[in-house]
Chains A and B, each alone.
Chain A
Amino acid sequence: MKEQIEKVKAQLLQEADAINDAKSAEDFRVRYLGKKGQVTELFRGLGQVEPQHRPEIGKLLNELRTLAEQAIEEKKSRYAAVRREDQIDLTLPGRTPRIGRKHPVTLVREEIKTIFERLGFAVADGPEVETDYYNFEALNIPKTHPARDMQDTLYISEELVLRTHTSPVQIRTMLKQKPPVRIIAPGRVYRRDTPDASHSPFFHQVEGLCVDENVTMGDLKAVLSVFAQQLFHKKDLRARFRPSFFPFTEPSAEMDIWWESSKGGRWMELLGCGMVHPNVLEGVGIDPEKYSGWAFGMGIDRIALNKYGISDIRTLFDNDMRVLAQF
C-alpha cells in the first residue's frame, strides 16, 4: 500500500506540473479526486489495511489528497485568471502588414553601389537612347570595326541606338569633368537578342571608370579584387585576370572568380576591364601621356543569377510574386 501511494504521488506531482490551462486542471482533478479517481480508490482500499497500519496509511493518504487539492487550487487560480476577453490563440497568424521587397536586380545594384561608394566612386547616369557617336565612335569602335559584330544593336535611326553597354557614360563623364574621375554608371542596356534562358533583349550593366595621374593596372586589379570580395562576402575569394579585347581599353582583361560548387568549382567570368585606350582619352581631350585610367563593365543581372542560384534570366523579368517574395 505504501509503495502504491508513493507511486501515485510521484505520478501526481509530474502531471500537476504539466497542467497548463483550466481544462487540464479539471481533468487532473477527475483523474485523482473524482469518484473513480486514483486517490479516491486508494481511500477505498484503506478498509483492507491491517488495523495497526491504518493510522499511518491514513495519514499518508490525507497528505496525498492535500497535495492534489493544492495543485488543483494553484493551477485553477492561475488559469482562471485569464479573462475571457484575454483569451488568445497563439497559433493564429498575426496581423502582418503587407511586406514589399526590392527586386533582386535592385538589391545587387545597391550592393555594388555601396561597395564602390566606400571606395570613393560617385554614380553617373546617361541616356538609354544613345547616339552612335557615344555608343561606338568615341569608344574607338568606328562604323566598320569588326567589334561591332560582337554585339547586335537595336537601332532607332542611322545615328541613334539603344545603348548596347553603359560605356557611353564614360565619354559623357569625361567630357563634363576633368580628371580625377571616379565614377560608376549602373543602368539598362539593350541587345538584339531573342529572349532565352541566358539572353534578355534588355539587361543591366554597371560601368566603372577611374582616371587620374599615375593610375595603373595594379590599381585596377586592387579595386576590382576588393570589390569582388565584398560583393560575394568572401575575404579569400580567388580571382584571376586574363588578357582579352575591348576596343576602348588597352591592355584589356577579363576578370574571373572561382565559383565554388558541389562539383568542386569553376572559373566564372565576372567582368571585362582594362586601361582606358589612349584613343578614347584623346577623343575627350585628355592627354594620355599625363593621365591614365582604368574602366570596367559587368552585368548586374548575371551576378544576381549567380548569387541567388537562378538559371533562367527571364525569371528576373517575369515579376512573378512567388519569385519576388523570396528576396
Chain B
Amino acid sequence: MKISYLWLKEFVEFDFDARTLAEKLTLAGFEVEDVVEKRLDYPGVVVGKVLKREKHPNADKLTVCTVTVGEAEPLTIICGAPNVAEGQVVPVARIGTRLPIGLTIEKAKIRGVSSEGMICSRRELGLEDDSQGIWVLPEGLPPGEALAKALRFETDYVIDLSVTPNRPDALSHIGIAREVAAIAGKRLQLPEPRFPETSESASGSVAVEILCPESCPRYAARLIRSVKIGASPDWMVRRLEAVGMRSINNIVDITNYVMMETGHPLHAFDYDLLEGGKIIVRESEDGELFITLDEKKRELRRGTVLICDAARPVAIGGIMGGLNSEVHPKTANILLESAYFQPESIRKSVRYLGINSEASQRFERGADPNGVIYAQSRAVQLMAELAGGEVCRGVVDNYPRAIHPVEIDLKAEQINKLLGTALTAEEMEALLAGIELTVRSGKVVVPTFRPDVQRTADIAEEVARRYSYDKIPVSEKTAIPYQTVFNPFDDYLDELKNILTGMGLQEVVTNSMINCRVWEKLTGQPIYPILNPINPEMDGMRNSLIPSLMGVLQWNLNRQTGDLAIFEINKIFYHPGDITRQPREQYHLALALAGLREGSAWYSDRQLFDFYDIKGFIQGLAGKISLDNLGFIAYDNFAVESQAARILAGEEEIGYFGKARSDLQKHFDIETPVYVAELDLQKIYHLTRAEKKYREIPKFPAVGRDLAVVIDRATAAEDLISAIEKEGGKYLRRAFVFDVYSGKQIDPEKKSLAFRLIFQANEKTLTENEVNEAIDNILRALEKTFGARLRS
C-alpha cells in the first residue's frame, strides 16, 4: 500500500518527517519498504515553451528546439524525444541543474550543435520510474517560472507499506492516519461530506433487491444526475499517481480516490445503461458468462455475487464492473454503488477467476459494513464538486441485518499474563482508545473496521502494539522441564556427519525435487509427483540420493574439480502407490567417489578411486559406529552394476554400493568411473543402538602366523576365512587377508591369498605345538574344501 505523506496530513496534524514516520509505522506493525521523494523544486528547473522545432542536421532521431524560458534570448536545446512539438509548454532543466536521477546538466555539443539545457521527462524529474517522451505541461504556464511554483507542486513522500492481511482497514489513508494519530497523540480529523440534494428522490428511480444477503449483507445506491465527464483536477491526478493509480476520468477517479482515502471500494455505473432502474444482487449459476470491463469474457461458477439490472448482470460484486454498464465520455447519470460483500465469498470467487483488483483485495480481507455510507457520501460530495453532479435525495440502502461491533471482555489480568506486563485496566483502556477501541462497562467495543479483533489475544496484541513491543520487559529466567522428549536420532545424524567429514568426505546439500519422467526411466520405479511443479525438472520427489550426488559430480567435473569424495544425508520419498497418501520418508546416506584417490599431489599414487575405496568407507564407518556382522552379496540395481554389492547387517539389508551404472554415467555425461553407496539410516540406527560393553583384553601374549595358499581365482576370501575360523581351534582369535597376489609364478587361473592368523589364550601362554596343530588342521580343511595348496 502506497501512502502519500501530504494526503495523510489532511487527517492528522503530526510533526514527524517522512523518515521518522516510516520508522514509527514500522514499529507499529506496518513495515515500510520504501520512502520515495516526489519533488519538483530543483533549482534550475523552470517552465519553458517550445518556439521552434527543427531536425538536427547530423542525427535522425534528434531535434533542435528553440525554447524560451522568459528571457530575451531563447535557448537552443537538443531533444531526443519524438513527442516534442512547437508550441508545447515543457519543463526545462537549465545549465548547472542537478536532476534527481543523478545527472547534472552541462552545456554540451551534441553532434556539432550546442545544447543549452534539457527538456525533461517525468522520469528524469523523479516522478515516475518509466515514462514515454517529454512531459507536456498544461498551456498558459509562464515561461521562466520555477516549475514547482508554476504547478503549485508541493513536495511529497510516497511511503510504501506492507500491510499484513489481517488489517484491511490499513489499506487506506484514513486507516493509516488513525494509527499515526494514536502514535502522535493527536486527533484524527475526517472530512465531513456535505452536498446539496435535489428534490428528486433516488428511491423513485432506483430499487435495490438483495437475493443473497449472506454474501452481500448490504447494498447502498445513490443517483447523481447531469455529471460532466472530464479530466480530474491536478491535485487529484497527482494523489492518484502518488499511490500508483492512473487517472481515467473524473468519475472513475473519484471512486478510486475515495477508496484510497477511506479503504472502501465503490463502483460507478452509467445509470442510463441499467435496465429497469433496478439493482438485483444475486449469486451466479454454473457456466454463466460475463464480460468484465477489462474486456475479458469470464465463465462463472456457482455462488459468485453478481450485480444485475432488471435484465442482466452488470458487475461481479466487489471484484470488477462490467463492460456493459461502464462510465463513458457521454455518461450523464451515475448510479453509485457502495456495498459490503462477505470476505469468504469474494475469496472463493477471486481464486477461480484469477482477478486481483484493488476492490477485491479490500473486500476479501474485510471492508467495513458500517463504512458504506461514509465512503459513498464522500464520493457523492466530490462528484457534485468536481463533475457538476446533481445529487438525488436519499440513499437506497438495503441492509437487512445490521452488523454490530463485537464486544470483548477486557481481561487485564490475562493480557498481562500473556505479555509479561503489569498494566492496569485503565492504562490498557487509554492505549486502546487511541485506535478507537473503546471500553464500555468492562467490554472492549471493536469497531466493524477491525474484523481481525475477535478475542482476548487480539486485544492483547493491540495493547502491546500501542504500548510498544520494545517496552515489554524481558524475562530474566525461566523454568525448564526436567522431563524432556529428546531426539537421539537427530544427534545420531549429526554424529554421522562428524564421522564422515572426519573420513575426508565433503558434505553436500541438494534439491529433493527431480524430474519424474527421467528418473522413472532411470530407476524403473515410480516417483512421487508434484501436482503444480515449478518446471518439469522439479516435478517429483526423489526416491534415492544417488541422482543428486551424480548431479553434484557433474557440476564440479565440468568446472575442473576432478577428484571428489562427497556425501549427503537427507530424506528420500517412497511412492506409496497412491498420491492421496503421504509417502514413506526415510533418511538416507549416500556417498560418491570420482577421480584420483589422492588427487594430483606429488605423493599421489595416481590411482583412481575404485571398488575397495567405496567398500572401505562403508566398513570404516561401520566400524566407527559399531555396526557389526556386515555381509556383502553381489548385486546390481538402477545405480550400480558389475562391481557392486548389497550390504547386509546380519539378516537385514541396509544398502548397496559399487560402480555406478554406465547409463547413469552417460546420463550425467561423466566419463571417469564413479563409485557410489546408499544406506538406509533408520535401519542402521536401530541396529547400532546397543550400549557399548567393555571386553577384557587377554593377559597372555598372542602368536601370529602367516599362511599363504594358492586357490582358484573365483574363490571368495570370505569363504576361506569362514573355514579357517571353523578349523582354527579355540585359540584362533582372528584371521584376515594381508595379501592378494596373482601374476608371475602363479597359474593364471589361480591366485594367492595370504592370511594372518592370530592365536591367543586367556589363561596361558600358547606353545609352539598347540599353534602348529591348529595350522595343520586349517591347511587340511582348505585343501579338502577348496583345493588350496600351500604357496611355497
Contacts and interface: CB of A to CB of B under 8 A. Distances in A.
Given A218-B472, A319-B555, A154 B530 contact: yes
Nearest to B28: A243
B772 to A, nearest CB: 40
A284 to B, nearest CB: 16
A122 B490 CA distance: 10
Contacts of B570: 188
A205 interface: no
B485 interface: yes
A194 interface: yes
B427 interface: no
A253 B465 CA distance: 10
Nearest to A255: B469
Contacts of A129: 528, 541, 573, 582-583, 585
B80 interface: no
Interface string B469-480: 110111110111
A146 B365 CA distance: 7
B559 interface: yes
From B481, B507, B585, residue with most partner A Cβ within 10 Å: B507
Contact of B484 (A144, A157, A182, A292): A182
Given A92-B602, A202-B512, A245-B167, A131 B458 contact: no
Contact of B348 (A144, A212, A252, A275): A144
A122 B571 contact: no
Interface in B149-173: 164-167
Given A93-B601, A106-B497, A242 B26 contact: yes
B556 A155 contact: no
A324 B165 contact: no
A214 B502 CA distance: 45
Interface residues of A, number: 87
Contacts of B464: 217, 243, 251
A42 interface: no
Contact of B474 (A156, A218, A325): A218
Contacts of B193: none
Interface stretch (B215-223, B224-232, B397-405, B414-422): B414-422
B457 A219 contact: no
Interface in B509-568: 509-513, 528-535, 538, 541, 552, 555-556, 559, 561, 564-567
Nearest to A281: B457
The secondary-structure label for the interface of chain A is: mixed
Interface in A80-94: 92-93
Nearest to A251: B461
A218 B534 contact: no
A10 interface: no
B506 interface: yes
A122 B26 contact: no
Contact of A156 (B460, B528, B535): B528
Contact of A193 (B164, B475, B478, B534): B534
A18 interface: no
A147 B167 CA distance: 12
Interface stretch (A44-52, A60-68, A220-228): A220-228
A188 B186 CA distance: 47
Contacts of A149: 165
Contacts of B567: 100
Contacts of A122: 484-487
A235 B538 CA distance: 43
B364 interface: yes
Nearest to A144: B347
B512 A128 contact: yes
Contact of A221 (B475, B503, B530, B531): B475
A106 B509 contact: yes
A102 B501 contact: yes
A244 interface: yes
B497 A241 contact: no
A155 B582 contact: no
B164 A250 contact: no
Contacts of A158: 580
B29 A242 contact: yes
Contacts of A188: 512, 570-571
Nearest to A187: B571
A243 B471 CA distance: 13
B531 A319 contact: no
Contacts of A217: 418-420, 464, 469, 472
A285 B459 CA distance: 23
A270 interface: no
B744 interface: no
B602 A93 contact: yes
B469 A253 contact: yes
A105 interface: yes
Nearest to B166: A245
A192 interface: yes
11 contacts: A99-B504, A102-B497, A103-B507, A105-B509, A119-B480, A122-B486, A127-B582, A145-B165, A154-B533, A192-B532, A241-B469
9 smallest A-B Cβ distances: which pairs?
A: A218-B420, A243-B29, A98-B504, A216-B420, A245-B164, A251-B461, A120-B480, A100-B501, A146-B165
Interface of B: 26-29, 31, 164-167, 344, 347-348, 351, 364-365, 414, 417-421, 455-458, 460-461, 464-465, 469-470, 472-476, 478-481, 484-487, 489-491, 494, 497, 500-513, 528-535, 538, 541, 552, 555-556, 559, 561, 564-567, 570-571, 573, 579-580, 582-583, 585, 598-599, 601-603
Given A157-B531, A223-B478, 20 more contacts: A100-B501, A100-B505, A103-B508, A110-B494, A125-B490, A131-B582, A144-B351, A146-B165, A177-B485, A201-B511, A218-B420, A218-B472, A219-B420, A243-B27, A250-B460, A278-B455, A278-B457, A317-B509, A319-B556, A319-B566
